[in-house]
Amino acid sequence: MEPFLEREEATTTSQLVGILPGTPPKVNLVDYGTGRNGIKRHMTQQVPILDDKLFARLEAEVNIGDYICATTVNEYTEAGSRFYLAKFRRVDTITPNGADGTKSKSNGITQISTTTSVIAPLLLDTTKVHK
């Protein structure tokens, strides 16, 4: 794999609403949140799983409707970009307001980190996070 220009990781507590076999297999995740105006909303994303062992573990440990703490990655290279599930853990209890050190299902994104190589300047402004 060629070196990346930028790499973003986002960790969310999401509900697993679908598992789609294929090459690569994908999962459908739903995050719930409240916008600045107080309106409740949800965001659904379809996330590829590039690691066969990670997919097998997900199928063995998680059921549709369960909540997982999922870390997704966006990697940007000269040739393009890729988005995938990097890791997950099953969440047995959703704690409101992040009392357990993570954000609850109603708070969406818990962590975003960006790594930029010195190969090229930033291609995207990742300093703004929309909740």
Query: What confidence tens digit (pLDDT) does each residue in 21-79 have?
Result: 999 999 999 987 777 788 878 889 999 999 999 999 999 999 999 999 999 999 998 88
Q: Which amino acid is at 82?
A: R
Q: Where does the chain have alpha helices with state H?
A: 52-61
Domain 6-116 has CATH 1.10.530: no
Which DSSP letter does residue 107 get? B
Measure the CA–CA gap between 116 and 27, rounded to whole angstroms.
27
With tokens 């291609």, the residue in question is 123
With tokens 């949140």, the residue in question is 33
pLDDT digits (tens, 9 = 90+) for 84-112: 999 999 998 765 434 444 443 333 444 44
Measure the CA–CA gap between 105 and 15, rounded to whole angstroms.
8
User: What are the residue boundaries of the structural domains of the chain, listed by start?
Assistant: 6-116
pTM of the model: 0.69
